[in-house]
């Protein structure tokens, strides 16, 4: 692997989107030894509480907390972010530059929040295809075509629709939930004490609920636009961990004995 090559890239429209939605998994992958990059499509400004230099500083602080190898902010417009050729070129250029095997993006419409979120999903999906196109290198800063193996979605918990994906999985972030909270806390311009308390409550509640889906204390749910393929079903399934309310009973239970009722 070259010095610039990454294993996985996370992308979303605004600085703090990745940290709030996917920060636990980002930190987890870094701990596992993977080379991880964060690509923020816009600077997230203007906002009532921030400005560009401050947001850039906070973004870098959050990246340090999570331990990633690369963190970039693209020069795309906040508030008017729209899927189209130029944004696709910009994100695809990062894929061609860093050559990750996996790209993760937010998924779902957020009508009570920024419409940039859904546009970011469309841009990421198109960028995956654009990154492999030949005879268009001038649109991608002269970088060579690259084919990305996997596109992964991070479904928005409060999306406008209930979306049924081909497959979903839970990443256990029980050991990185505090790191995720610390990364979010870096965005002081966006979250004063009262607002941060609300965000922290939301993040912990979602992580607890999504973790319980997979039988762990804290988790983040991800989805694929295709079924999962494996040659080893037993290895894929792993060890089933009873959800937290019953965990202590399971630990005291003799092997093979049923839990509950």
Q: Where are the domains of the chain?
A: 8-252
What integer is the mean pLDDT of 93-100? 98
pLDDT beyond 80 at 10: yes
Task: Give pTM, 2 decimals.
Answer: 0.91
Nearest CA among 199, 167, 169 for reference residue 181: 199
* CB-CB contact of 220 with 171 (8 Å): yes
Task: Write down the residue that tokens 């806390």 correspond to.
Answer: 185
Give the list of residues 6+ apart from residue 110 with CB closer than 8 angstroms, or none.
117, 118, 156, 158, 159, 160
Model confidence band, residue 255 (pLDDT cutoffs 50, 70, 90): very low
Flag whether pLDDT at 184 surpasses 60. yes
Show the tokens assigned to 241.
């961990």
Q: What is the mean pLDDT of residues 53-78?
A: 97
Model confidence pLDDT, tens digit, residues 103-161: 999 999 999 899 999 999 999 999 999 999 999 999 999 999 999 999 999 999 989 98
> Within 13 Å and on the Cβ side, how many CA atoms surround 115?
6
pLDDT score recorded for residue 258? 40
Does the domain at 8-252 match CATH 1.10.357.10? Answer given as no
Query: Would you state the structure tokens that stand for residue 184, as one six-digit string?
Result: 């979010």
Mean pLDDT of the chain: 92
Average pLDDT over residues 173-196: 97
**Residue 260 pLDDT:** 40
**pLDDT class of 2 with cuts at 50, 70, 90:** low
**Please, which pLDDT band fits residue 214 given cuts at 50, 70 and 90?**
confident
> Encoding tokens for residue 231?
């040659």
Q: In the predicted model, what is the mean pLDDT of residues 26-45? A: 98
CB-based contact 173:211 (threshold 8 Å): yes
Integer-rounded Cα Rg, in Å, for the chain is: 19
């Amino acid at each position: 692997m070259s010095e610039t090559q990454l294993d996985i890239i996370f992308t979303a429209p605004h600085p703090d989107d990745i940290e709030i939605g996917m920060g636990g998994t980002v930190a987890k992958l870094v701990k596992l030894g993977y080379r991880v990059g964060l690509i923020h499509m816009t600077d997230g400004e203007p906002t009532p509480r921030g400005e560009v230099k401050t947001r850039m500083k906070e973004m870098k602080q959050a990246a340090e907390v999570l331990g990633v190898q690369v963190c970039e902010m693209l020069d795309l417009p906040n508030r008017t972010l729209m899927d189209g050729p130029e944004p696709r070129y910009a994100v695809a250029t990062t894929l061609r530059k860093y050559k990750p095997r996996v790209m993760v993006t937010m998924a779902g419409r957020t009508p009570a929040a920024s419409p940039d979120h859904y546009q970011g999903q469309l841009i990421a999906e198109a960028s995956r295809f654009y990154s492999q196109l030949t005879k268009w290198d001038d649109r991608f800063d002269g970088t060579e075509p690259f084919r990305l193996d996997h596109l992964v979605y991070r479904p928005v918990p409060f999306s406008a629709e209930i979306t049924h994906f081909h497959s979903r999985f839970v990443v256990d972030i029980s050991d990185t939930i505090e790191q995720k909270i610390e990364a979010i806390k870096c965005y002081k311009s966006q979250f004063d004490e009262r607002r941060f308390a609300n965000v922290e409550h939301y993040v912990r509640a979602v992580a607890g609920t999504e973790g319980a889906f997979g039988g762990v204390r804290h988790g983040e749910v991800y989805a694929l636009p295709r079924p999962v393929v494996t040659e080893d079903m037993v290895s894929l399934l792993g060890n089933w961990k009873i959800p937290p309310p019953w965990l202590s009973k399971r630990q005291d239970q003799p092997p093979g004995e049923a839990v509950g009722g």
